[in-house]
Amino acid sequence: MSDKKEEVVSEALKAEEELRSSWHILTLEGDLVPVDEFNYKGYKGLQTFSGYEVDKDRTVNQVPPHVTLMKSLELVDYEPASDPGNMRYYPKGRMIKALLEDYVTGMIHDYGGMEVETPIMYNMNHPTLANYLNRFPARQYTIEHDDDKYFLRFAACFGQFLMAHDATISYRDLPLRIYELTKYSFRREQRGELVGLRRLRTFTMPDVHAMCRDLPQAKKEFKRRYKLVRETLKGIGFENDEFELGIRTTEDFYRKNKRFIQSMVKQHGKPALVEMWKERSFYFILKYELNFIDALGKASALATDQIHLRPLGEGPHGHGEGREALPAAVAGADPGQDDTGERDPCETRHGLRQEALQGQGEGGRRRPGGDGAEEDQGCGEGVDTLHRRPRREGDWR
């Protein structure tokens, strides 16, 4: 009788299956129309994308055309000696992937991203990671060694946040942009959802976080990154009519930031899908994804970005000692990979989207008093901070 180990599933993933949201189409005129009342004439891609997202059916019943192409052109293939969703890249496929990686990395360098490298595994019982881990809706690969259990990262968030926590960062350094091209990120996607390059268990993800002083600075950074993502996708070869915009947020944030969100749709140049929750249970308050619709009507997130707030005392930056802090917000982006995206409400991954820029993040500053509550834009909670302390030898900046 075999002892099958129980799969490690985050609390956020469990909550995602129970959460109820409302779905709308946000028009160029700023009208929020329920998805079943919108006139999709002239917006076939948006109609397909909306149905895919609302149904939340990620199972694959037919092999997509790109699988035949990737094999016949000797680019990429399945690796039977590995876990499903882990691919082998032949020389031509590796060359294409490397060119995408170099292009995306160059775009992020020009944007101001400082490149770092962090571990691919972390202790599940690490005091500042355990609770944080549960805020991400993703299934993990786990490794047991002696009495410890580790998880393989599904993004670079953990390493980048821990690195920022140990650095001396002044508010003058913000926004602070940290970047890593995670050659190996891991998610134990359900087997029935795996197919070709569209949905993988091991993938490459450009992950860039911008630590911001407060929500206004985060929104400004978010707009800059939105432009960066669109320029990156255009440089890869995507035209605006080849992808659909999806936005996820809470009712409260949308109500207080309508113009900001509507400006994204106007820049997109066509209506967008909006998913809205009554309250926030994930790590982000605003997220968007740019999605490619394939020949089978399935969506692959090409890029995703979020504004991410954390309650004080939770996550890699919080110490839980009652420190008072100003709001700390962080934007994250994702261009050029294949996905989840994004989402996973978290991210983006897979496909020849195997190169995207993904990110979430946070940052902030201290103040002498107050209750740590978010006042700007009514976000409703305090968030983590980057603590200022005397510089010491070896500090980054």
- Summarize the confidence of residues 232-247 as an average pLDDT: 93
Q: Which has the higher per-residue pLDDT, 390 or 279?
A: 279
Confidence (pLDDT) at 349: 27
Confidence (pLDDT) at 11: 59
Confidence (pLDDT) at 88: 95
- Is residue 140's pLDDT more than 90? no
- Is residue 205's pLDDT more than 50? yes
Confidence (pLDDT) at 224: 94
Question: How many Å apart are CA 60 and CA 194, to the nearest integer?
Answer: 7
**Lowest-confidence region among 7-16, 128-137, 388-397:** 388-397
Confidence (pLDDT) at 196: 84
What are the structural domains of the chain?
23-378 (3.30.930.10)
- Which two structure tokens, joined as six digits, stand for 333? 């982006």
Strands (E), the chain: 22-26, 32-34, 76-78, 87-89, 114-115, 121-123, 142-145, 148-152, 176-186, 202-212, 243-250, 272-277, 284-293, 299-309, 329-333
- Summarize the confidence of residues 69-97 as an average pLDDT: 94
Q: Which has the higher per-residue pLDDT, 191 or 326?
A: 191
Confidence of residue 259 (pLDDT cuts 50, 70, 90): very high
- Is residue 201's pLDDT more than 70? yes
Task: State the average pLDDT for the chain.
Answer: 76
pTM of the model: 0.76
pLDDT digits (tens, 9 = 90+) for 276-321: 998 877 778 899 999 999 888 888 888 999 998 753 334 333 333 3
- Is residue 60's pLDDT more than 50? yes
